[in-house]
Amino acid sequence: MMALLQRVRHARVEVAGKVVGEIGVGLLVLLCAERGDSELQSDKLLAKILKLRIFSDAAGKMNHSLQNLDGLGQTGGLLVVSQFTLAADASGGNRPSFTAAAAPEDGRWLYDYFVAQARLLHPLVQTGEFAADMQVTLVNDGPVTIPLRVAPTDGPPR
């Protein structure tokens, strides 16, 4: 399972001109399930995202995670958007292959699972719409963009 994190000042997702998800300060998570992924990879990836220290402290150092922004008087949002194109393989030519991405029904199940777990662990979770044509608007803070991947062989979360 993989994600591309973007630390944002604000972000929103629209489908057919309607806002379906929106956050202020927080993380935009572009999420991709790969073939062979399970709840174990989802749980491990979510734990890493919530604890990753990529928000600045008073000295400008990345010392705060999304979860400990609460202690600073703000609740950072989590905007989760499905994006199977993260699994693209363009090594064989000019048209990317997406065979590493989970089948649509598996991808939807893992996306829904990830979002449900995120809502259990974090107070502010918004989403896009799985398999929809979405327009994502964001102001990347920093900019800070971090790719994360948890392979099927990485085992259970710690």
pLDDT at residue 158 tops 80? no
Beta bridge partners of 148: 3
- Give 3-state DSSP helix, strand, coil % of the chain, rounded to 5: 30, 40, 35
pLDDT tens per residue across span 69-86: 866 677 899 999 999 999
Reported as a pLDDT band with limits 50, 70 and 90, residue 53 is: very high
CATH code given to domain 2-143: 3.50.80.10
- What would the mean pLDDT of 55-78 be, rounded to a whole number? 87
Active site residue 67: no
pLDDT at residue 107 tops 60? yes
**Assigned token pair, 98:** 């997406």
Reported as a pLDDT band with limits 50, 70 and 90, residue 149 is: very high
Active site residue 83: yes
Active site residue 126: no
Burial class (CB in 10 A: 0-12, 13-18, 19+), 73: exposed
User: Which three-class secondary structure state does DSSP give residue 11?
Assistant: strand
Catalytic residue, from 74, 85, 137, 145: name it: 85
Residue with tokens 């992924």: 37
In whole angstroms, what is the distance from residue 19 CA to residue 51 CA?
28
Taking the domains of the chain in order of start, what are their residue ranges? 2-143
Catalytic residue, from 84, 114, 117, 126: name it: 84
Catalytic residue, from 41, 67, 83, 117: name it: 83
In whole angstroms, what is the distance from residue 65 CA to residue 48 CA?
10
